[in-house]
Structure formats: structure tokens, C-alpha cells
Amino acid sequence: MRVFSGIQPSGIIHIGNYVGAIKNWVKIQDNYDSIFCIVDYHAITVSYDFKKMPETIFNTAAILLACGIDPDKAKLFIQSDVKEHTELAWILGTYTAYGDLTRMTQFKDKSKQHSDNINSGLFFYPVLMAADILLYKADIVPVGIDQVQHLELTREIARKFNSIVGQTFPEPKEMLSEVPKILGLDGEAKMSKSMNNYISLLESDKDLWDKLRGAKTDEQRIKRTDPGDPDKCNIFNIHKVFSKKDEIDMINIECRRAGIGCVDCKKILYENLLNFITPIREKVEYYKNKKDNVFDILKIGAQSCRKIASLTIEEVKSKMGLLLR
């Protein structure tokens, strides 16, 4: 079975991205025909720095490789290197109802966040996402909970195309992460670069501690002697992902009887996050010194994906009467 998923080159990839997507990608690449994409066309739907984009795309690729994406097991490439993505998006746009796009909650949310740049690309985003997936006839798509609505639209588009033109695309199913969504350090919203409530996978030792030290914990626990409820503490939720089971069990017990303070709890998490982040930082530096290796991986990935994509486009255009022999 084929898996497709993409990640935006946002400049900063944080532990929320890792838990929600990358960790799952690394796990499934052993068992599926895996295609992973750096979706740069999606990233330009909001304002960005033109000069920094090449470095941002490269860093995203380097981080994915550092986290364990193996080019011998999975295809890794840049979206804009395969022109069929936008070609199929235009075609699928003619099978997508305007009303369906107006109901997309992410468009509404991003329109509020980027009120000075509500462009048609932001509105058309879900169709391009559908093209990304259907171009490779993916069976499964690892997504976060916020992308489930887009995947439902992808299935609707595939269903409509198949009913009018003829059976062409499978209806892809979502694969949600087994780990609950990690909230940002404010404990309220999802971890996000724009909200500055994140821990980067490349965080320095000092910045990591500074961020953890100021992170929100259980509001009911004002003094160290106050018993806490770990289930209401976002720091404890992060422990569940990055700490050992015996540490998690100990914190769960001791916090409830005020046997451990919030600062001590954060120090344990700091050490565990540091042990997790440090090897990734080192590997990213390795890839920065081996840029040609990364470029070759992306080039080979794009070449492999173009072969698949061109066949899909040829089939689609032929069925639509757009291909003359």
C-alpha cells in the first residue's frame, strides 16, 4: 500500500511536528511504499521571505533525514520539482464545488491570521492537497487532526471524478498519530511558530531551558506544597512522549502528593528533550556540510515521483479527452 504525506518548509520544525507527523513517517516507511514531500507551493500561500526560502527548504530536508527518513526506504522530494502537482490541481479544481471550499475551517482560520493576504491560493489550498495525494494514488495519508477535513474533501473529489470520468483514483484513508496532539508551551493552543509557543528540533541548550522554565503548568498548583493534577498539566503531556515510563509513573504519583515541584519536573523533561534534540542537531550540521548529498536525495526522489505522476496525468487526460494520439 502507498502512503503520501507532506510538510511545509516553515523555517522551524518543532517537537509538535515531530510527534504529529515525522515520528510516524519514520515508523511506517519500513512497511509501506512511502512518498514524503516538502510542500513548498503550499508554503507560499502566506507571506514569506523569498531570499530565505531556499535555505528553509534545505533545512526541512536535512531535519527529515536527521530524524530518520531513509531515502533507501522512502521517496523524499520537493513539491515544485514535480510539475504534475499543479497540473492535476487545476484539473481537480473543475470537479470541486465552490461551496465545499468555503466550508474549509482552516481557510477561515488562516484568513484571520493573515488578514492582509487572503489570496486565492489560500482558498485553493485543499485542491492542491488533493492533487498531491491523488497524483500518486495514495491509499493512506498520515495527517494531523486539523487536516482531516481536507482529506474528506480529497475523497469527495476522487469520488466525483470517478463517477463522471471513470474509476481512476482510490479514496485515501487517514492515518492519525497514536500520540495525542501536543499543545504549545502556553498550554492552550497547538504548538505553532506563529504563536511562538514551540520547542524547535534545533533548540539550543539555553533556549530550551528558558522556554521550559516559562512554560505553563497546572494552574491549581501555586506553591510547591500544593498537590497537582498531572492530567491538567501540559508539561506532563510532553513527558508522556519524551520521558521514560518509570519517570512518567514517578511524576504522576509524586505530583499528586506534592512530592515533586514543577521546576524539578521541568528539569527532568529538559534532560530528556536535550538527549532527544542533540543527535538531531548534530546530524543536521552533518547534512549542512554535505549539501550535495541532500540535493542528490531530493533529485532522485523527484525523478522517481515524476515517473509515477506522469503516468497518472496521462491517464487522467486520456479519460477526459485531452490527450490526442
**Active-site choice (190, 240, 283, 317):** 190
Distance CA 147, CA 218 (A): 29
Pairing, β 33-38 against β 2-7: parallel
**pLDDT tier at 325 (50, 70, 90 boundaries)?**
low
* Rg, Å, the chain Cα set: 22
**Active-site choice (23, 75, 110, 266):** 110
- For residues 130 and 106, which has the higher predicted lDDT (pLDDT)? 130
Question: Is 168 within 8 Å of 315 (Cβ atoms)?
Answer: yes
290 is catalytic: no
Is residue 317 classed exposed, middle or buried when 0-12, 13-18 and 19+ CB atoms within 10 A define those classes?
middle
- For residues 126 and 147, which has the higher predicted lDDT (pLDDT)? 126
Angle, vertex CA 244, rays to CA 240 and CA 245, nearest 5: 75
Angle, vertex CA 98, rays to CA 92 and CA 101, nearest 5: 80
The DSSP secondary-structure symbol of 175 reads E
| CA 265 to the chain's CA centroid | 28
**pLDDT tier at 244 (50, 70, 90 boundaries)?**
very high
| CA 291 to the chain's CA centroid | 23
What average pLDDT is seen over the chain? Answer: 92
Instruction: Give the type of residue at 62.
Output: A
The neighbour count for residue 108, using CB atoms within 10 Å, is: 10
Instruction: Give the length of the chain.
Output: 325
**pLDDT tier at 108 (50, 70, 90 boundaries)?**
confident
Could you report the per-residue pLDDT of 275-287, keeping only the tens digit for each?
999 999 999 999 9
Q: Is the pLDDT of residue 190 over 90?
A: no
- pLDDT for res 180: 63
240 is catalytic: no
216 is catalytic: no
Q: Which domains does the chain have, with CATH numbers?
A: 2-182+291-319 (3.40.50.620), 205-284 (1.10.240.10)
- pLDDT for res 189: 85
**Active-site choice (160, 193, 216, 319):** 193
Long-range contacts of 275-284 (CB under 8 A, 24+ apart): 276/242, 277/201, 277/202, 277/203, 277/208, 279/66, 280/63, 280/66, 280/67, 280/201, 280/202, 281/201, 281/202, 283/62, 283/65, 283/66, 284/59, 284/62, 284/63, 284/66, 284/202
Which residues, other chains included, contact 66 with Cβ-Cβ below 8 Å and sequence gap of 6+?
Answer: 279, 280, 283, 284, 286, 287
pTM of the model: 0.90
| Helix extents (H) in the chain | 15-17, 23-28, 40-43, 53-67, 84-93, 98-102, 105-113, 120-134, 148-165, 205-213, 234-242, 245-256, 262-288, 291-319
**pLDDT tier at 220 (50, 70, 90 boundaries)?**
confident
Region 94-100: mean pLDDT is 94
Distance CA 312, CA 88 (A): 9
Is residue 152 classed exposed, middle or buried when 0-12, 13-18 and 19+ CB atoms within 10 A define those classes?
middle
